[in-house]
Amino acid sequence: MDTIALIGLGASNALLLVELQKRGLIQNVDVLVFDSSDKEINDKTYCFWARPQEQIVLDLQELIFKSWNSVKVVDRVENLDQMNYYMVESRRLYQEAKSIIAQHANVNFINASIDAVQEVPDKVLLHSNGHGYLVDRIFDSRPGVIDEEIGATVWQSFKGWKIETAAAVFDERTFTLMDFEVAQDGGTQFMYVLPFRDNQAMIELTRFSNELLEDQRAEELLTQYCETLAERYTVVGMEQGTIPMTQDILVDQSHPRRISMGGRRGLIKATTGYAFKAMHEDARAVASTFGDQALSQSRKAPGKFTRFHFYDTLLLILLKFRPSWGKEIFTRLLVSQRASSVFTFLEERSSISWEVSMFARLPILKFLWSVGYLVLFKLRKHAWRFAPLLLTCVATVLQFYFPQHVLPVVGGVLLIMLFTVGIPHGALDAYLEKRSDRLSVFVLKYLGIMALALLVWWVTPVIALVAFIAYSAWHFGQTDLEEWEISSPVLSVVWGLMVMVLLLLPHWDEVLTVLGAIGIDAAKSVPAAPRAFLVMVEVLAFCLAVWQRSWKWLLTATTLLATSVLPLMIAFGVYFVLGHSVVGWRHLKVRQNWSTVQMWKRASPFTLGALLVFAVMLTTARVASLTEYFGTGMVFISALSLPHVVYMSVFYQKNSATLHGPRR
């Protein structure tokens, strides 16, 4: 029987246990449940909204402590239509989970912290207090690692008082949502009032800010607020907590036996802190494929490319850099929309038309400011990615107004880049992995493969050409898809071939001249492909980019399309040097943890060698035009590329998961 470990008995893993019990799945596995806390206290209250017939309500009926059907927003009281707002006390959930543990001899609770998690062949080894536990799979709910992309993380910090009042002052059917009638203190602050009885309620002060709520200040504000509610009251309970409002939890999905849960899986909605309902849905999803070992591979992290993710990004930017705008934005939202519609939106189930009408009622200029911030941030961060398109635009303008300058100017830039990045990125192959061969043997092997490629060119240029196109397509496709973090060998080959088509077909006459220069006259009889074919490939390139939701792919496809009006040499140079080689260079830099200077130093002997061979080839080749020179250069590059493609292919297979560093 397999052994699984639940690390943490907080909300997500408690909900998982409840779900496994409901489905009768616990009998099939041994379960070890670890938590550093004994989970005896009520450390949180979980609120969520739902319709009474929704699964979460049916499943957790026994655990629900309180529900409300109407809500006070701004200055009106509103019925929640078909919905209720529910509350579950964490202690009750933990009790339920512990009673499930107590009922099963094969389930054990270990009140200890997990110090480290180690992957070993076919198992996971957990270290705790000097003991080791070997298990088949883990469901890990330890706090996740945040790698904030823009600015500092915004925190939702709150302090709640459970109060009892001398008089009956609350309507126990109505809770108060986001009351902004409190000092903002340079952040976005508001109160919740959750009445349990007509003289008992939880009053909760919440702050959205980079700076956490200070205890003393929170008590001052709670005191002031409670005094507006009741003349005499007593504080009988307290709740306090912080939730990171981030979209940048690093969700580790690289290992099928390590399954992230709850907050660690990024299930806490960044702009609200709500997660309970999402965790219940997730527990159901996990339980429904519980026996499936491939489960965690197929479980994708919450979508980064949805429109809701984008809205959240905009709001988070505002909360980070213009926190004082929060009050106006939330108040306008609550004034202009029914609370039940806002809940549907927060649950990411609203329609686009509703969202358009909602944004129209919000301070739209503030959101446009946020869009501007985001665009500038991304442009600055990804400036190098736009370099190929930028150079293409410059070349196109030159071509139009000063055609004689295109080759000297743009070609010159590309030539400099070829010898500073293009060839050096390949020249680092010798340092990629621990070599079993000595450097001299490695160089001999490398030169041997190159010589073989040159021999094939000499004996049978047609086969050499077809092979060159094939391995270039493989290598271009592999590098691009690695960069775009798309794992599909089929797509990689398809894209590589499409790159070759998009580079070569628009320049067919020049391609024939080049081929003629290297002795492939037979190509002259190959007619240019019909224009419709090229258009089809271009459309397909855009469709694939959209399908994969990859703006980087879209950018490359756009650049390739734009280069089709430029000379072949420039088009090829833009893609090969500014696109492909720069990407490859960056992959090496991240994975090998090298500095640029280190890379140049290491690459310099091989780069100089390559320069020398190139110079010899150019001076000895009998060529008449620049395009023909390109032919000679192409043969040289094809020979140089072959060993490089082989070594890089192995490099990508080994290092795919660690190429991008923590930030995507």
Which lies closer to ligand FAD via its Cβ, residue 7 or residue 560?
Answer: 7
Shortest spacing between CB 243 and ligand FAD, in angstroms: 5
- CA–CA dist 5, 435 (Å, integer): 39
Q: Does 10 bind ligand FAD (CB under 6 A)?
A: yes
Shortest spacing between CB 278 and ligand FAD, in angstroms: 8
* Residue 212 CB coordination number (10 Å): 14
Which lies closer to ligand FAD via its Cβ, residue 109 or residue 276?
Answer: 276
3-state secondary structure of 163: strand
Q: How many residues bind ligand FAD (CB under 6 A)?
A: 31
The encoded tokens of residue 222 equal: 């709670």
Q: Does 11 bind ligand FAD (CB under 6 A)?
A: yes
Q: Does 37 bind ligand FAD (CB under 6 A)?
A: yes
Q: Does 205 bind ligand FAD (CB under 6 A)?
A: no
Q: Which of residues 238-257 bind ligand FAD (CB under 6 A)?
A: 241, 243
83 CB-near residues (< 8 Å, 6+ apart): 49, 50, 51, 69, 340, 343
Q: Does 12 bind ligand FAD (CB under 6 A)?
A: yes
3-state secondary structure of 81: coil
Q: Does 34 bind ligand FAD (CB under 6 A)?
A: yes
Q: Does 48 bind ligand FAD (CB under 6 A)?
A: yes
- CA–CA dist 10, 33 (Å, integer): 11
- CA–CA dist 462, 452 (Å, integer): 15
Instruction: Tell me the HSE value of 56 on the side-chain side, using a 13 A CA sphere.
Output: 24
Q: Quick one: which segment of 9-17, 314-322, 380-388, 392-400 binds ligand FAD (CB under 6 A)? A: 9-17
For the packed helices 626-655 and 439-459, what is the interaxial angle rounded to 10 degrees? Answer: 130
Q: Does 47 bind ligand FAD (CB under 6 A)?
A: yes
The encoded tokens of residue 244 equal: 């990171």
Q: Does 193 bind ligand FAD (CB under 6 A)?
A: no
Shortest spacing between CB 26 and ligand FAD, in angstroms: 18
Which lies closer to ligand FAD via its Cβ, residue 141 or residue 548?
Answer: 141
Shortest spacing between CB 368 and ligand FAD, in angstroms: 30
3-state secondary structure of 327: helix
Q: Does 206 bind ligand FAD (CB under 6 A)?
A: no
Report DSSP state, residue 114. -
- Which residues are paired to 239 by β-bridges? 160
- Which residues are paired to 6 by β-bridges? 33, 139
3-state secondary structure 226-290: HHHHCCCEEEEEEEEEEEEECCCECCCCCCCCEEECHHHHCCCCCCCCCCHHHHHHHHHHHHHCC
Q: Does 36 bind ligand FAD (CB under 6 A)?
A: yes
Q: Does 142 bind ligand FAD (CB under 6 A)?
A: yes
* Residue 367 CB coordination number (10 Å): 18
Residue closest to ligand FAD (Cβ): 10
Q: Quick one: which segment of 3-11, 418-426, 508-516, 523-531 binds ligand FAD (CB under 6 A)? A: 3-11
- CA–CA dist 423, 425 (Å, integer): 5
Which lies closer to ligand FAD via its Cβ, residue 192 or residue 474?
Answer: 192
**φ, ψ at 357 (rounded to 5°):** -65, -30
Q: Does 114 bind ligand FAD (CB under 6 A)?
A: yes
Q: Which of residues 268-327 bind ligand FAD (CB under 6 A)?
A: 268, 273-276
Q: Does 84 bind ligand FAD (CB under 6 A)?
A: no
Return the residue of 67, 141, 337, 548 that touches ligand FAD, per CB under 6 A: 141
Q: Which residues bind ligand FAD (CB under 6 A)?
A: 7-13, 34-37, 44-48, 113-114, 141-142, 241, 243, 261-264, 268, 273-276
